[in-house]
Amino acid sequence: MPSDSDIVAINVKIIKTLGHLPSQRLKLCFLNLKNNLSDIRKELKKFRIIDDTLLFTRKVSSESEYSEVIREHEEISLLEQIIDKVVNDNSTDIFLYLMKNSIPDWNILNDKCKLDYGCTMSFDGIKRANKKAFTMENCDLTHIGSRGYKKDQFEFESKEDWMKKTNLFVNTDDINVNSFVKYGLSVGISYSQNVTFNEEVKSVYKYTELEKALLNFYGYLKPTEEFIKAVNDAIISENPREEFKEIIKEYGQFIPTKVIFGGRVYFKDVKKSSENSTSKVVSVNINKIGVNYSNKKRNSKFYRFNHIKLLGGKHPDGKDFDENAEKDWIESLNDYQNWECIEYRNPISIFQFLPDDLRKKSFISIGKKILYTGTEYCDYFLYEPGIYRHFELKLNKLPFHISRIIRKNKDADCDILATAIDAKNSENTFFNCKIFYNPEGKPSVIIHGIQKEFQFYRRKYELKVGLMIIGYDIDFSFILSDTSVELIKKEYDSSNQREFGSIKLPLEHDLMTKNIPFFGIPILSNLNSSNDSLVIGHNFCNTRLDVESKYRLDAFSYCSKTNCFVRLPEFTFCTLIILNIPTSLTYELLPFEFRTFEFSTYGFPELPYISDILRNKPYINLKEKFARQSINNLDPKCVSLVLSGDNNYTPIYLNQSRDQITIEYVECRCNITCSICKEKTLKISTSNKDHASCSIFSLR
């Protein structure tokens, strides 16, 4: 055991090597010879004599050779084992030698650059968070060597590309980067619209680069207790989405798990400049590489120089960056303390490093969101009554991150809504969609074409299929959107064996008065000859009679093969409610209209409305309603019929074309034997048109 008698006066001397350290005075300390070096390090740190760049050494010969004590062995090494005793005539001096670590220490690089802190992208470069989300427990450090030297150039293809490269994501196409770029642009949206910024995007940069080491710490990040507590508190809060946004502000959005250290020098070569650019005062004095730069308009830090910017290495003094200056700069990078982060790779959301159960609780508490909206084309060959189109999602045509999420359906729990129209605007055929999940859980769209009379002359249809994918945001990109959705799934009990059935919808929101979009689609888990020709129609009914459930879902089943209403099969109905509609999408709740026809001088209605005057079908003019909002009215839209009152309407289908939505009634050939034909005979007319409206949601 160490005792006070073991405490002696020791001269601590830092050995100068390779010109890395200036000469320093000896430090006299009173240290215990029986203490291990780990304790001695703690003692010397108190007086700022040692830091993590210095190692204990032992003098091994009179020719001033020293051996380094491996940092991991300090716990088992005693001070008395490495001291050097110099005997003089009247006294003995004791020396303890410290030497700069010749091998890069990832702890030092981490402390210098805060690698285990979360980040966000910005117009002033990457920003480290205020609070620490992780502890880096280890790191894989790979020396790059001479192959890390290169000269090249890059230019910016877009604002997104500018944000990515100026935040040092130079050689990565990682899909996660795009999400983090969008957030960086959204935070500085006013600056992104600045004229000066648009000029900067046109710039070209040549650069000289020397990569020294690659740090990979993907598998070595442990969430801090403070971070975990913040996540748990957010999960149980009243508004988890907003609380998680606050966490991102405090802890960052992502963390790059691979970092290249070294040095890089940029040389600006203006590709295109504006004649009316603001005045600048420039002086190139290479006492430090850079310039005195004044600009009346705000510029990012990345652009606060005229010709040269330097990352890492020492600044050559008193000369231009010529060959000699470059040589000195490269030499300075032999000291890893002069390294800087010159490139980030493999950025991961900070929430992905949480324990699996906590991570899942996190995205479940945030709720589902609209992950994707888009349109696909497909051909539909309707060569005999009852034939359906089985449209499978082509994952390779979807954005990569969406297809990856769908493949991980178990976690994301994705649902799909679909709608279809004829790209060539068929008048006599309309289309109905439902979703089918096979035993492996893979979703597809079942499309039926409905005709009053089968048309042998028209067998091929070119359909535009609108898709909306809803699911949990397992990538935690929710911060890019305020849109939140609610999904209600209700199984229909087919045991009553009726052609018409209802499902109560326990909705907490007053959808109509608050103009909240809502839609629905039936889902099948079994598809066979007994139900593959059945067209399941539906409409929402705002009864206002049931205090607990103001809304009801009415469903009905029509066989496109026999042209009769038939008993409803087993199915699940999925209702989507969009609580905060994104600005990129448009929603309308519109009433139906009836046409008034102008007659020609011959007494006949003007074409092409002859077929319409005979039926005078209720309709909604999409071209008129959506063209004013710069929405492509040619794309399919999610539509649902909403009825008020509790009247016995005959089943109503919606016929959506490029230009309009009309109400369609199908002909039942049961000879008035089914319950629908007996009990439900009311149709929408000019006298009750106020009782019907259409919920329309544009997917673009």
Bridge pairing between strands 443-451 and 551-559: unpaired
**136-162 pLDDT, tens digit each:** 999 999 999 778 898 888 888 888 888
Domain ends where: 63, 85, 100?
100
pLDDT at 269: 64
Bridge partners (DSSP) of residue 294 are 281
Six token digits for residue 580:
């905060």
Give the chain's domain count: 2
Look at residue 18 and tell me if it is in a domain. yes
Indicate if 139 and 179 belong to the same structural domain.
yes
What is the model's pLDDT at position 296? Answer: 38
Query: What pLDDT, on a 0 to 100 scale, did the predictor assign at position 510?
Result: 73
Q: How far apart are alpha carbons 587 and 693 in whole angstroms?
A: 13
- Ranges of residues in the chain with a pLDDT under 50 are 18-20, 270-306, 599, 606-610, 613-614, 630-631
Q: Is residue 253 part of a domain?
A: yes
Residue 274 falls within a domain, yes or no?
A: yes
Q: Residue 579's Cα: distance from chain center in Å?
A: 20
Q: Are residues 20 and 122 in the same domain?
A: no
What mean pLDDT value characterizes the chain?
82
Residue 265 lies in a domain: yes
> Does 216 reside within a domain?
yes
Residue 299, pLDDT score = 46
Is residue 204 one of the residues assigned to a domain?
yes
Q: Is residue 513 in some structural domain?
A: no
Tell me what pLDDT residue 160 has: 86
Based on the domain organization, do 198 and 292 belong to the same domain?
yes
pLDDT at 556 (0 to 100): 94
Are 111 and 96 contained in the same domain?
no
Query: What is the pLDDT at residue 195?
Result: 55
Whether residues 180 and 288 share a domain: the answer is yes
Question: 115 lies in which domain range?
Answer: 106-350
Same domain, 268 and 321: yes
Judgement on whether residues 90 and 132 belong to the same structural domain of the protein: no
**CATH code, domain carrying 92:** 3.10.20.90
Q: Which of 100, 126, 145 is the last residue of a domain?
A: 100
**Nearest CA-CA partner of 39 in 7, 77, 6, 66:** 77
The β-bridge relationship of strands 254-269 and 340-349 is: antiparallel
Are 144 and 235 contained in the same domain? yes
Helix (H, G, I), strand (E, B) or coil at 318: coil
**Distance separating the N- and C-terminal Cα atoms of the chain:** 77
Do residues 317 and 180 share a domain?
Answer: yes
pLDDT of amino acid 283: 32
List the alpha helices (DSSP H) in 323-469: 323-332, 356-366, 400-407, 409-412
Looking at the structure, tell me whether residues 159 and 296 fall in a common domain.
yes
Q: Identify whether residues 43 and 188 lie together within a single domain.
A: no
Q: Which of 291, 325, 350 is the last residue before a domain boundary?
A: 350
User: Is residue 682 included in any domain, yes or no?
Assistant: no
Q: State whether 196 and 253 are in the same domain.
A: yes
Q: Is 483 exposed, middle or buried (0-12, 13-18, 19+ CB in 10 A)?
A: middle
